[in-house]
Structures are given as C-alpha cells and as structure tokens.
A and B are shown apart, each in its own frame.
Chain A
Amino acid sequence: MNLTLKIWRQKNAQDKGKMESFNVSDVSPDMSFLEMLDVLNEQLTRKGIDPIHFDHDCREGICGMCSMVINGRPHGPKDLITTCQLHMRSFKEGDVISIEPWRAGAFPVIKDLVVDRTSFDRIIQAGGYVNVNTGGIPDANAIPIAKKIADEAMDAAACIGCGACVAACKNASAMLFVSAKVSQLALLPQGQVERQTRVEKMVAQMDKEGFGACTNTGACEAECPKGISLTNIARLNREFFSAKLTSDNI
C-alpha cells in the first residue's frame, strides 16, 4: 500500500519544530509500524537526509522505549499494545497518518519523536523502592502473601514506564504511572514499613517535575498499553490522604 505520513520534525530541544509530509510506497501489511518507518529512514538516508529519529529498542512491547502519538492516539489506533506491536494491516491504501512525539512539559522533545522521560526516573528515585541492601535477607517463603494480593501487585507492577498515560492526559498528569508503583508496594508486606513516606515523596517529586493534576478523565487507562487500571489512582489517593493525616514525614 501507499501512504502519506505527516511527521513531527524538530532538530533539537531549541528548535521550534514542524510537521513534514513524506510518502512511503510498497508498504506490506505484515510490516510493523516501526519497520515501515525503517523503510522510510533507509530512503531518506540514501538521499542524504537525516532519518526520522524515534526511540525504540526491544520491539516486543515490554521495554517501554517506543513513544509515538499516531493519529492523535498514544501507541496508535489499537488498544493494549505499544507502537512496536502495531502492524500495518491496521491501515489501508492511501491513508494519511500523523505521527507526533509525546506532548508534555515534563517530557521535553530531544529530537523529532524522541522525548526526555528522565522525570519518571526521578520519581522512582524519590521513593519507588523498598530500602533493602543486598544480602542478609530472610527466606523468600518466610512471609506468605495471599495469591490475590500478589496477583493485584503484579497487575500494577506490569507498568512499562512508557509515558503513554501522560501523553493521553489533557493535564499531562503522571498519576497512573506513580499510582502503579505506589500500589504495587502498598499491597505487598515488604512495602509496609515505608508505605507513608513513599507515597508522600513520590507525589511531591511528581509535582516538582511539572506533571499536571489528575481530574479522573480516565484517558490514561484507556490508552495504557498494559491495561493498568484506574483503581490504582484511587488507591494512591487513599494512601496519600492517610499518610497526610497521620504523618509529617516531608
């Protein structure tokens, strides 16, 4: 099939950036979306034009690196998959496809479709862990954990940190991402000791990074490639209020 791509091009963080049009021909329906861009990039390179820069790595939908807004939707038109898992059979002859980077103040554009997501790393560094050193740990079976709780923790832990939730939110809120980590550790016995300080520190860092407030529109859940549930945000709010009522940790 033959397609017209309208792609965001921005030379660097200082550049203003603009949409540019490209035509690609002979696109096979068996190609992944990123392979279609590879084909375009090979064409551009042969002409001596700088290829379109985009983040990608595992191409199996788990590393969380790929990050494109395709026709207005983070990770494209299909639910529950990342951009790298999207295949061209989801498009048809003559389609015009727009491709843009994640748009959020806390995710500044580096080049073309590549954005800086280190704000997510800093939120985790603020408290998204259990304070244990290597070694001197009790046996793994010393604390039984109900299967239901372990499964719920796993549901939250499945977050790949791609940032689609932020890109989908009209406020560019990071609540779904933060709540996934807060929930995972609040559910497990290992996370109990620092339960209150953790949520307070992570929320404070989230605000500091400039992410917007959550107004419960649910766009994040709808666009999350891993189906992280809005329930986690409810849990985060409960954890946060309870921490603020009983502690003055930060």
Chain B
Amino acid sequence: MSTVLNSKVPAGPLADKWSKHKFDLKVVNPSNKRKYDIIVVGTGLAGASAAASFGELGYNVKAFCFQDSPRRAHSIAAQGGINAAKNYQNDGDSIFRLFYDTVKGGDYRSREANVYRLAQVSVDIIDQCVAQGVPFARDYGGLLANRSFGGAQVSRTFYARGQTGQQLLLGAYSAISRQIANGKVKMYNRSEMLDVVLVDGKARGIITRNLITGEIESHSAHAVVLATGGYGNVFFLSTNAMGSNVTAAWRAHKKGAFFANPCFTQIHPTCIPVSGDHQSKLTLMSESLRNDGRVWVPKKGIKGLTAKDSVKIAEADRDYYLERRYPSFGNLVPRDVASRNAKNVCDEGRGVGATGLAVFLDFADAIKRDGRDTIEAKYGNLFDMYQQITGDNPYEMPMMIYPAVHYTMGGLWVDYNLMTTVPGLYATGECNFSDHGANRLGASALMQGLADGYFVIPYTIGDYLATLGHEKVETTHEAFVQAEKEVRDRINTLMNINGEKTVDDFHKELGKIMWEYCGMSRSEEGLKKAKGMVQELKTEFWKNVKVVGGTDELNMSLEKANRVADFLELGELMIDDAMVRAESCGGHFREESQTPEGEALRIDDKFSFVSAWEFAGDNSPENLHKEDLVFENVKLTQRSYK
C-alpha cells in the first residue's frame, strides 16, 4: 500500500468495527460545540442531512447550494427506492446480506469496512425518515411495504411511489429548515463554491460567488464538508440535472484532495434516446420496465426504422438479443450488460429510430399475456411520461430506449471517517468514492447519501474538531485574500476571451469525446486518441470561448463557463484513470480484457485497488497512488448471467 493513503479502517471483526470506532472517536463536549463552525456545500440528501444533524448537535453551520432552495437538489429525481436491511419481509435479509450484495454488485472494487457500516446504519435511516413524516408506501395492515429492486433476491427496498428521492429529500429539507429557523444553520441559496481555502495545510473555509449579485465572498470555518454530488455531466448528456457539476470537488482536488476511481461511471440501460442536436439532457425510465418489456432490434439493420413501423416486422426477423445471449437472465441482466449489448447492436448498424442509436423495448407480449389493465396499473405513469416526451404510445408500439450516464461511483478519496486527503475537508454522498466500487446497485444511492449525512459524519467530524482547537481564522487571512484573487482572476479571464464558440459548443464536444472513448467501452487506442482531443479542446476553450453578460449580476453563461472549464480538466483525468485500469470491471468494459465469449473479464490479481490521483500542477501529469483492497469476508467471483 502506498505510504500516503491511510484508510483508517479500524482493526477487529467486521461487525464490530463501527461500534468500536464510535467509542474510540474523540468527542467535543456539548457546551464546546457552539464554538465550532462547519461549512456544508450542497444540500441534497448527503448535505442537508449532515447540516441538519450538525445543527442539532450544537455546531454552527453554514450551508450552501447553487439552486434557489435546498429543496431542489438532484437527489429529488431518484425514483425507485432506498435499501435497508430491515428484514421486515422475513425473507432472509440481513446486514451481512446487504453488505455482501453491495460488495459483489460493485464488482469487488469497494472497501469492505465502509460497505458493512453502510448496511448497518441503513436500518436507522428508515426509522429516521418515518419519524420526519416521510410517507413511505404501506401495506393494508399499516406496516411498511417493500419491493425487490435491481435484481436483489430479497425485498428490502422502501419506496414512496415513484418519488422516493423527492420524499427523502423533503424530509432532509424539513430537518435543515428546522435548524435554519433555530438559527443553527445559516443557508446561502444561489451560491456557488469556487474554491476551498487551506491554512497550515488544513481546510479552513471556502470562496463562493453569490449568483445573484456576482459578489465573491469568503467564508471561514473549522471544517468543510463537500456534498456536491457526481460529475456525470462531463458527458454533457446524462440523467443529471442541468446544474450538476464537478467544480467544488475539482477545486478541492486541485488543493490537495485525491480523486479516486474517476473512470468509474454508471450507464443506465433504459433512458429515452437522443432525438437530435438540441437535446439538453436524458430522461431515465425506471429499470422495472425490463420486468415485462422485451428488448429487440431487427436481425438486419433498417435505416430510420420507427416504432410505428416496427410492429409490421415479422417475429422471425427480430433479434431478441438479450434473451438469445443470456438465456437464464434474459432481459433482466444487470445494468452494465444490458447497456453494453445495446451499444453493440447499434454499432453493428442495427439500431433503430431516426438516429440509429436506440433499441426497442416491447410490451406487446406482456399486454397480450396479462391484459392492458395490468400493464397500465404497473407502468401507467411511466408510459404517460414516455408518450409526453416522445409522442409515441407504448401501448400500441414498442418504446425506444438507449443507455445514458446516470451516476458516478468515482469521487474524492476519503478514509473511513469520510475525510479526504486534506485535513478538515470531508466528502459525503455521490461526491466521494467510498461505497459502490465499480458499479452501484439500484436503491443504494439514497441509502449512502443519508447514511453519510445522518449517521456517519456527525460522529467522525467531532474526532477531528476535538483536536483542532476552537480558534477561528479571520477571512482577512492572506490565504483567503489570495484564493479570492485567484477566483476573480479566473472569472475576468473567462469574460475577456470573447471568442467565437459558446460554452455549450465546448461542452457538447467534450461530451461526445468522453462518451465515444471513455464511456461503456474503452480501448487503449481510443483512450490515447481521446486524451489528445480533450487536451486540444481545453486549449481552444481558453482561447475561443464566448461568455456574455457582466460579472456583477446573475449570469448563467458565466456559471456554465466556470463549470465546463473544470469538466475539461476532469475529462482528461478520467481518461488517464481508464488507461491505467486495463481490466473490464463493473460498469465499464475494457476491450483488451474479455473472455473468449466476449464477456467482461475482471483481473483481480492486478487491479484490486482504488486508484487515487494527486494533482501535481496545471501542466504536469497527476501522480497515481493505489489503495489495495483486501477482502476478508467475501470471496471474489466472476459474474455470469448466461
């Protein structure tokens, strides 16, 4: 193991690590907590839950979000549900089973101790949310309902219709609102973090831009928590919200926080396909559709085949390729396998729709078998949404779907305490890398966000603060002055380029490169090519981007430019990381690493590690550090869905 990285995983049996660690952590006594200030950036599940919990404990919290209200964070869009090892269904679930499924689902690239803790605290999350008034689905007896999700063999997913993320976020929002009312949390809406400030090597504050007035502000604290979500928008098109960005995490990276597994991204197989160059984002259709829908393309490619015309194609001329290749799992193969196969058939020229980048998801057989009413009861709202967006009626013709970027497992490297490699700087939720390995299971993102925010960081941050002392750093300190100047200089540079291309022009180009060469399928040759392309694009950006408007006002053009500048740098690091990881693993396929049948081949003896990248200066290659992954409680197996 590298000498720099210390995961701080406690010794002892897996099941006892967290409770022992909680006892070993230093605590700040209740009357001293009010002497400490904590900054929380981002108010999604991971941020709002942490900010609220810190406020309840007595810390002074400053929370920041770029949206107009903390209730808008993109956690709100999660549909399916949240996992918890409650075993309410008496079907053999347990903390160990949830832990095992998560490690296995992550293709053995996550840290055992973190995942076990996640499974342990999962049960508390459900209690907490119910107490807040989250209206989870219930059975007729009044007890909580569960469903199975994402191929799990037990029913452990709690849900609130198709709006689980919304309801959990509104729960966390209510908790943070209560602390705002109590004066323990000061909320800064429409504020974007543009740098983290280090004093004596420790994170002591942030620089923000007030998005309404354009004012650059300094905020000082004893610790900084980043809960700023994932970086899926590096691909331009993803299921992320339009504003989701990597800027806060990337600035932290450039100030010394290592970035872990940046190439681990998740591609969701069932999204509504791109309809043209105007496309701004992609919409996810719930994975549950694959329970009844059959995926197919014509055996021989037909250019521009519409869904309407597809019903005329004879059964013998259709290729139900998932059922053919994976007879035991069929249409229910995991996300990565379904996505990769869709890409392959389209690459073969058999894709459908105007762009040729789509496959059919057909409910005709299910409607014939179960009746339209049954299908409507199960998927009515999804069918309506599909028709709303595409104009096609899925009761009469197949849907068209295509994979899209959905989640990023990579993120800032954190130890067991969720602290990055910068003392006093923490990362929670999708912003860190810690729990999902190379592939995240369905209904686990909400679980991790709330676990980190409600039940992990409120304990671990005290250990750091207790040794730090409560002296404050003034924002007149030269470190703040210097960081503010850097932020202002960068904004002025962007404003003064006055080139020919818009920010979106660059963002779309970057997205195309990343999707083509660093998406579902990667090869050494392609990655080399992509690296050159991204470097060129970055150089061009700083010479030829056009940002209009002023600096002292609401300027969404400038906001985007700041974000895309960081995506361009992140893109290059993702390519470097993908290059190093010469194995097929989890959500991604490395063409040089496949079985004779063309399936993904993981290589455990060479790649059982977390890659953690250290920034080394603007024009220098980053340094790679490796955290070796040790598996003491699960046996590594190759996945097979044949």
User: Do residues B142 and A59 form an inter-chain contact, with CB atoms below 8 A?
Assistant: no
User: Do residues B74 and A58 form an inter-chain contact, with CB atoms below 8 A?
Assistant: yes
User: Do residues B76 and A129 form an inter-chain contact, with CB atoms below 8 A?
Assistant: no
CB distance from A144 to the nearest CB of B (A): 3
What mask results when residues 309 to 350 of chain B are scored 1 for a CB within 8 Å of chain A, else 0?
Answer: 000000000000000000000000000000000000000000
CB distance from B135 to the nearest CB of A (A): 4
Closest partner residue, chain B, to A134 (CB atom):
B53
What mask results when residues 9 to 51 of chain A are scored 1 for a CB within 8 Å of chain B, else 0?
Answer: 0011000000000000000111110111011001011101111
Residues of A contacting B178 in the complex (Cβ-Cβ under 8 angstroms): 125, 129, 131
What mask results when residues 535 to 561 of chain B are scored 1 for a CB within 8 Å of chain A, else 0?
Answer: 000000000001011000111110000
Any B CB within 8 A of the CB of A63: yes
Stretch of B121-129, B149-157, B588-596 at the chain-chain interface: B121-129
Residues of B contacting A30 in the complex (Cβ-Cβ under 8 angstroms): 275-276, 278, 390-391
User: Do residues A132 and B131 form an inter-chain contact, with CB atoms below 8 A?
Assistant: yes
Any B CB within 8 A of the CB of A154: yes
Select which of B69, B134, B166, B502 is within 8 A of A121 by beta carbon: B69
Any A CB within 8 A of the CB of B454: yes
User: Do residues B72 and A57 form an inter-chain contact, with CB atoms below 8 A?
Assistant: yes
User: Do residues B72 and A124 form an inter-chain contact, with CB atoms below 8 A?
Assistant: no
Q: Tell me which residues from 207 to 237 in chain A have a Cβ below 8 Å from any Cβ of chain B.
A: none
Select which of B130, B181, B241 is within 8 A of A59 by beta carbon: B241
Closest partner residue, chain A, to B554 (CB atom):
A111
Residues of A contacting B549 in the complex (Cβ-Cβ under 8 angstroms): 50-51
Q: Give the interface centre of A12, A110, A121, A191 by most chain B CB atoms within 10 Å.
A: A121
User: Do residues B69 and A130 form an inter-chain contact, with CB atoms below 8 A?
Assistant: no
User: Do residues B554 and A137 form an inter-chain contact, with CB atoms below 8 A?
Assistant: no
User: Do residues B278 and A117 form an inter-chain contact, with CB atoms below 8 A?
Assistant: no
Select which of B76, B140, B173, B546 is within 8 A of A62 by beta carbon: B76
Closest partner residue, chain A, to B170 (CB atom):
A157
Residues of A contacting B288 in the complex (Cβ-Cβ under 8 angstroms): none
Any A CB within 8 A of the CB of B71: yes
Q: Tell me which residues from 83 to 138 in chain A have a Cβ below 8 Å from any Cβ of chain B.
A: 85, 87, 89, 110-111, 114, 116-118, 120-121, 124-126, 128-135, 137-138
User: Do residues A62 and B77 form an inter-chain contact, with CB atoms below 8 A?
Assistant: yes
User: Do residues A57 and B242 form an inter-chain contact, with CB atoms below 8 A?
Assistant: yes
Given known A-B contacts A87-B389, A128-B174, A144 and B69 have beta carbons under 8 A apart: no
Chain A, interface size category, equals: 35 or more
Any A CB within 8 A of the CB of B621: no
Any A CB within 8 A of the CB of B133: yes
User: Do residues B132 and A190 form an inter-chain contact, with CB atoms below 8 A?
Assistant: yes
User: Do residues A140 and B144 form an inter-chain contact, with CB atoms below 8 A?
Assistant: yes
Given known A-B contacts A35-B279, A57-B74, A125 and B181 have beta carbons under 8 A apart: yes
Say whether chain A's binding surface is mostly helix, strand, loop, or mixed.
loop
The A-B contact count (CB < 8 A) is 219
CB distance from A12 to the nearest CB of B (A): 6
What mask results when residues 56 to 74 of chain B are scored 1 for a CB within 8 Å of chain A, else 0?
Answer: 1000000000011111111
CB distance from A248 to the nearest CB of B (A): 21
CB distance from A17 to the nearest CB of B (A): 14
Given known A-B contacts A59-B280, A59-B281, A147 and B275 have beta carbons under 8 A apart: no
- Give bound CA distance, A124 to B187, whole Å: 14
User: Do residues B68 and A116 form an inter-chain contact, with CB atoms below 8 A?
Assistant: yes
Given known A-B contacts A58-B241, A129-B175, A134-B56, A31 and B77 have beta carbons under 8 A apart: no
CB distance from A10 to the nearest CB of B (A): 11
Any A CB within 8 A of the CB of B641: no
Any B CB within 8 A of the CB of A166: no
Residues of B contacting A59 in the complex (Cβ-Cβ under 8 angstroms): 241-242, 280-281, 283
Residues of A contacting B128 in the complex (Cβ-Cβ under 8 angstroms): 132, 134-135, 137
Residues of A contacting B548 in the complex (Cβ-Cβ under 8 angstroms): 44-45, 48-51
What mask results when residues 158 to 169 of chain A are scored 1 for a CB within 8 Å of chain B, else 0?
Answer: 101100000000
User: Do residues B557 and A120 form an inter-chain contact, with CB atoms below 8 A?
Assistant: no
Closest partner residue, chain B, to A36 (CB atom):
B278
User: Do residues A134 and B133 form an inter-chain contact, with CB atoms below 8 A?
Assistant: no
- Give bound CA distance, A43 to B167, whole Å: 38
Closest partner residue, chain A, to B503 (CB atom):
A45
CB distance from B558 to the nearest CB of A (A): 11
Residues of B contacting A55 in the complex (Cβ-Cβ under 8 angstroms): 68
User: Do residues A38 and B133 form an inter-chain contact, with CB atoms below 8 A?
Assistant: no
- Give bound CA distance, A9 to B128, whole Å: 45
- Give bound CA distance, A85 to B276, whole Å: 16
- Give bound CA distance, A42 to B144, whole Å: 49
What mask results when residues 272 to 309 of chain B are scored 1 for a CB within 8 Å of chain A, else 0?
Answer: 00011011110110000000000000000000000000
User: Do residues B390 and A137 form an inter-chain contact, with CB atoms below 8 A?
Assistant: no
Top 4 A-B pairs, shortest CB-CB distance: A144-B142, A129-B174, A30-B275, A154-B135
Known: A58-B241, A150-B142. 18 other contacts (CB 8 A): A30-B276, A45-B548, A46-B546, A48-B548, A55-B68, A56-B242, A57-B67, A63-B241, A65-B67, A81-B388, A117-B69, A121-B69, A129-B174, A130-B132, A140-B136, A145-B138, A147-B140, A190-B132
Interface CB pairs A-B, < 8 A, 8: A60-B284, A65-B72, A81-B388, A129-B175, A131-B178, A137-B130, A139-B127, A147-B139
